[in-house]
Structure 1
Amino acid sequence: MIILDGPLLLDCEDVAWFRDQPEAARGAAAALGRRIGLGEHRTAQLVLAVAELATNVTKHTTDGSILLRVLRNETVAGVEVLVIDGGPGVADVTAALRDGVLTIGTLGIGLGAVQRLADSFDIHSVQGLGTVQLARFWPRPLPASVGSEAVVGGITRAIGGEDVCGDAWTARVDTDEETVRVPAAKADLRQSGPGASPDWSAMTATGTGHHATRHAPPEPQRTPRPGAGGRSELVRSAAAGPGRGVLVMSCDGLGHGPMAARASQAAVQAFRTGAGRTPEQVIEEIHRALRGTRGAAVAVARLEPGGRLLFCGIGNIAACVVTADSRANLLSHPGIVGSQMRQLRTYEQQVGAGGTLVMHSDGLSERWRPGDLVTLLPHPPAVIAAGLLRHAGTRRDDASVVIAKGAW
């Protein structure tokens, strides 16, 4: 049985990046809308919005990119457009969204029209640093199942010169009696560079979710929660708590390219189909699934009502709980999932109101501070992830960020 009233999670497939290619982005949006069954009129609105955003980012920003993605749940598919640039930023976002405020050189419909065309729209901009814009397009009438904001969102980006990304992230909802399998938010990335065209033949209009009903086995006694100070503590024989929990995974296949992507997708599949309820159990299942691959760094977190967080990580996945003025790092241990893995250790931490879970691969520098995210934190998880990638991404490796907020 599928639980419909739990935390909202969406499959998110990164399809193609575009830089300085407004025509290619517009054509790709048209093909994508048709292939997922968005409908002729809705696809035309998507194309109009993408054309405006792509032209604007090409003419008036620095280091600007557009990412087209497929969003899915069990019943419907839509398109998300993420626009990321490195400056100059929007001086007055409210004014820019008013009718009649146009950017010279664009198609002339303005950001206000893009906002109205989209089913959801979000923008974060800081002068001198840049802007992140998010627009989502679902079939009409708008399905009730996508009417609220997803509690988990992320982004992946392949290293320059590669068509696939070796990083991946995904999430699912788990309860003590039944589990909702959410289609993987995988990095099936087809990058589009100058002279290149995306492989649209690989896209489908259906999700790949797996649903299972089962009864939980007896579990060991829980270790008491850590105190109110927010510091994580080692937990032995960690057990899943009652009610719904959200499991979140970040994976970095060793190296980059197709072999790294194969390892990360094996981890995604094991996460989706496994029965593990605690981070340790999930990583043990992934470890078995990755034998025969080059292996990966993997981290898994479990978020529960009331703010209880369990975390287990192997390898170079950075994870922390962030507020506007604090960053509490979560400890991962050395090893390679699928190859060399020492005894797993689980840490528990209490996440207070306003706390946000951040997990990212080593394609991002860890030298960022809570202040770098303070204006991003009120925004949707996907916008936070994109803003952090822009700020801390190194471009010397595959990169991925996954954010969870509002799940407790």
Structure 2
Amino acid sequence: MRRQQKSILITDRSSIGEARRTANLAAQELGFDEERRSDIGITVTEVATNILLHAQGGELLICPFTKKETNWLDILGMDSGPGISDIGRAMEDGYSTVGTAGQGLGAVNRLSDQSSLYSIPGKGTVQWSRFLRGTVPEQVLGIVSIPVHGETQCGDGFFTEAGSSQSLYMMVDGLGHGAGAAEAAEEAIATVRRFSREPVLDIISRSHDALKKTRGAAMSLAVVDHDRLVVTYAGVGNIGASLITGTNSRSLVSQNGTLGAIMPRVPQEYSYPIERTTTLLMFSDGLGTKTSLAAYPGLQNRNPALIAGVLYRDFARKRDDATVLLAPIGGTLQ
């Protein structure tokens, strides 16, 4: 089930309440009990309050997920404020630079099932918290998928399918935004899910046929052979993708066209060797073409959900739906 993620701009005290109510509704829909919904509400309040007090504003993302028997909720608070010079001390109870009780970051860390923070002095902070209902997700993923301001449906979409010997990652961007774009994305996701075990170019061809009844979409597929450490990739349209290994990054090749309307005359797939430490990055054109980790010391070693939040904060164009996906594909990223 594809669940809609939401963005709340944190501009004043009233937006903190809006963020808390939105998170509580998402938690209810995921089946969290009253006690955990209370923990989620406290976390959202603390994160949003920190954004307002320390950076005078920012953004909070509420990202619900369902995968098989597991539901989880990611909370991402982000700002471009002064940053945190001593993260270790900031996590201590009682420490505050603005005269509060100093319980915020410590409380967030205790209440969350998983959490992490990335901050660069002078460039801002991103705080990530995850609440789980069920078992730990089988895939270590980071996904942010936010509709353009004013729309309730996101015209971007994604699909992942993990296996011991082969895994598949797909991203789609329906033309335009709103309901029509979301319809195209849903059709592409359904098609890829149905034919996920077929060769990559066959999935592309089937998706093209299925999308003819919609406004069309850009789409990319990456199939990982874990035994051979090879990625097979094919894309049509402006989905960006790269393979990140340490400080090195390699862009993946997509062809011009629009599935459902204009297919490349000769569709092509490309094979890329990977290493055990390689991470796949995919992003829609709601993020800038220069999206990368190059300017962020140590970020490539952090949880993919936190990385996705940092990239969304710094590269989202804000005039279109924006989706970014990160997945360790050669091994497990702690």
> Corresponding residue for 2:192?
271
Out of 310, 314, 317, the residue aligned to residue 394 of structure 1 is 317
CA separation of 1:149 and 1:107: change in aligned 2, threshold 3 A: farther
Q: Secondary structure at the match of 2:295?
A: helix
Q: Partners in 1 of 2:199 and 2:288 — Cα distance?
A: 28
> Corresponding residue for 2:21?
27
CA separation of 1:17 and 1:369: change in aligned 2, threshold 3 A: closer
Q: Partners in 2 of 1:103 and 1:50 — Cα distance?
A: 20
- Pick 1 or 2: higher relative contact order, CA cutoff 8 A, min separation 6: 1
Give the conservation status (yes or no) of the 8 Å contact 1:324–1:374.
no
* Aligned amino acid, residue 395 of structure 1: K
Cα shift readout 1:170-190 (whole Å, capped 9, x = no counterpart): 21125xxxxxxxxxxxxxxxx
Residue 100 in structure 1 maps to residue 94 in structure 2: yes
Q: Secondary structure at the match of 1:353?
A: coil
Any residues of structure 2 matched to 1:8-407 within 5 Å, and which?
Answer: 13-20=3-10, 21-61=15-55, 64-102=58-96, 104=98, 108-139=102-133, 143=134, 145-146=135-136, 150-174=139-163, 244-306=165-227, 307-342=229-264, 343-407=266-330
Give the conservation status (yes or no) of the 8 Å contact 2:95–2:101.
no
Give the conservation status (yes or no) of the 8 Å contact 1:164–1:258.
yes
CA separation of 1:367 and 1:32: change in aligned 2, threshold 3 A: closer
Query: Alignment identity in percent?
Result: 33
Q: Partners in 2 of 1:106 and 1:82 — Cα distance?
A: 22
Q: Partners in 2 of 1:264 and 1:105 — Cα distance?
A: 47
Q: Partners in 2 of 1:283 and 1:378 — Cα distance?
A: 32
Q: Partners in 2 of 1:136 and 1:386 — Cα distance?
A: 13
Q: Partners in 2 of 1:251 and 1:69 — Cα distance?
A: 18
Q: Partners in 2 of 1:132 and 1:351 — Cα distance?
A: 29
Q: Partners in 2 of 1:266 and 1:285 — Cα distance?
A: 11
Give the conservation status (yes or no) of the 8 Å contact 1:271–1:286.
yes
CA separation of 1:26 and 1:381: change in aligned 2, threshold 3 A: same
Cα shift readout 1:81-118 (whole Å, capped 9, x = no counterpart): 11122222111111111222245376753201110111
> What residue ranges of structure 2 are gaps of 5+ in the alignment?
none
Shift of 1:397: 2.0
* Aligned amino acid, residue 314 of structure 1: V
Give the conservation status (yes or no) of the 8 Å contact 2:200–2:232.
yes
Q: Partners in 2 of 1:38 and 1:281 — Cα distance?
A: 40
CA separation of 1:105 and 1:304: change in aligned 2, threshold 3 A: farther
Segment drifting more, 86-95 vs 26-35 = 26-35
Segment drifting more, 294-303 vs 85-94 = 85-94
* Aligned amino acid, residue 50 of structure 2: N
Cα shift readout 1:111-147 (whole Å, capped 9, x = no counterpart): 01110111111111111222221111234xxx4x31x
Aligned-pair RMSD on alpha carbons?
Answer: 2.2
Q: Secondary structure at the match of 1:125?
A: strand
CA separation of 1:368 and 1:274: change in aligned 2, threshold 3 A: closer
Q: Secondary structure at the match of 1:371?
A: coil
* Aligned amino acid, residue 136 of structure 1: R
Give the conservation status (yes or no) of the 8 Å contact 2:223–2:231.
yes
Give the conservation status (yes or no) of the 8 Å contact 1:79–1:136.
yes
Q: Partners in 1 of 2:26 and 2:291 — Cα distance?
A: 35
Give the conservation status (yes or no) of the 8 Å contact 1:149–1:380.
no
Shift of 1:374: 4.3
Give the conservation status (yes or no) of the 8 Å contact 1:121–1:134.
yes
Give the conservation status (yes or no) of the 8 Å contact 1:169–1:251.
yes
> What residue ranges of structure 1 are gaps of 5+ in the alignment?
1-10, 175-242
CA separation of 1:151 and 1:31: change in aligned 2, threshold 3 A: closer
Give the conservation status (yes or no) of the 8 Å contact 2:155–2:180.
yes
Count of matched residue pairs: 325
CA separation of 1:369 and 1:255: change in aligned 2, threshold 3 A: same
CA separation of 1:169 and 1:73: change in aligned 2, threshold 3 A: closer
Q: Partners in 1 of 2:124 and 2:111 — Cα distance?
A: 23
Shift of 1:362: 1.4
Q: Partners in 1 of 2:199 and 2:226 — Cα distance?
A: 15
* Aligned amino acid, residue 237 of structure 2: G
Q: Secondary structure at the match of 2:212?
A: coil
**More helix per residue:** 2
